[in-house]
Amino acid sequence: MTETVAPARIAQALEAARALIAVHGAEGRHHIAAAVLSDDGAMHLGISLESTVRWASICAEPGAVSRAMIDAPGAAIIATIAVNRDGAIVPPCSRCRELLADFAPHAQIALPDPAGWRLVALASLMPYPYKGLLRFDGDQA
Ligand SMILES: [Zn+2]
């Protein structure tokens, strides 16, 4: 079930992600910061890790999801937001959309919008997640 997320919580997540990348952003090291919100009221932050071996690089969202799994076990992730080093909101990449389909299938995703941001259901970005094609019981998580 997709949960409505208060705009104030998204604004706080945006501010926290921007503050994180402002402190840690560095060319070739950290380009994106993400914040995920869980239904227990907590916020979990992550930062991208750029590797000299390009395929070993990790986006910011997996780090934030990992923090949520550790800090809020059993809580559902209800929203995500990510920003680049300029503080601009960036949508999750395709790989992160697949990850979020596994760990936050009912999350709202903040996307850039002329008004600041808009929330869209992950399901609208990922109508056919890969795992859905592997299941035979009709369960779409
Ligand atoms: Zn990604």
CA 48 to ligand 1 centroid distance, Å: 9
Q: Is residue 141 part of a domain?
A: no
Indicate the number of domains in the chain.
Answer: 1
In a domain, 30, yes or no: yes
CATH number assigned to the domain comprising residue 28? 3.40.140.10
Domain range for 62: 7-134
Task: pLDDT tens for the chain, 141 residues: list them.
Answer: 566 899 999 999 999 999 999 999 999 999 999 999 999 999 999 999 999 999 999 999 999 999 999 999 999 999 999 999 999 999 999 999 999 999 999 999 999 999 999 999 999 998 888 865 555 544 544
pTM score: 0.89
Tokens of 67: 């923090």
Domain assignment of residue 32, yes or no: yes
Give all strands (DSSP E) within 75-137, no chain letters: 77-84, 108-113, 116-121
Helix (H) or strand (E) holding 35: strand 32-38
Residue 106 lies in a domain: yes
pLDDT on residue 1: 58
Task: Report yes or no on 140 lying in a domain.
Answer: no
Q: Is residue 27 part of a domain?
A: yes
Please answer whether residues 119 and 90 qualify as being in contact, where contact means their C-beta atoms are separated by less than 8 angstroms.
no
In a domain, 127, yes or no: yes
Give the total residue count for the chain.
141
pLDDT of residue 140: 47
Cα of 59 vs centre of ligand 1, distance in Å, is: 4
Q: How far is the CA of 14 from the centre of ligand 1 (A)?
A: 17
In-domain check, residue 78? yes
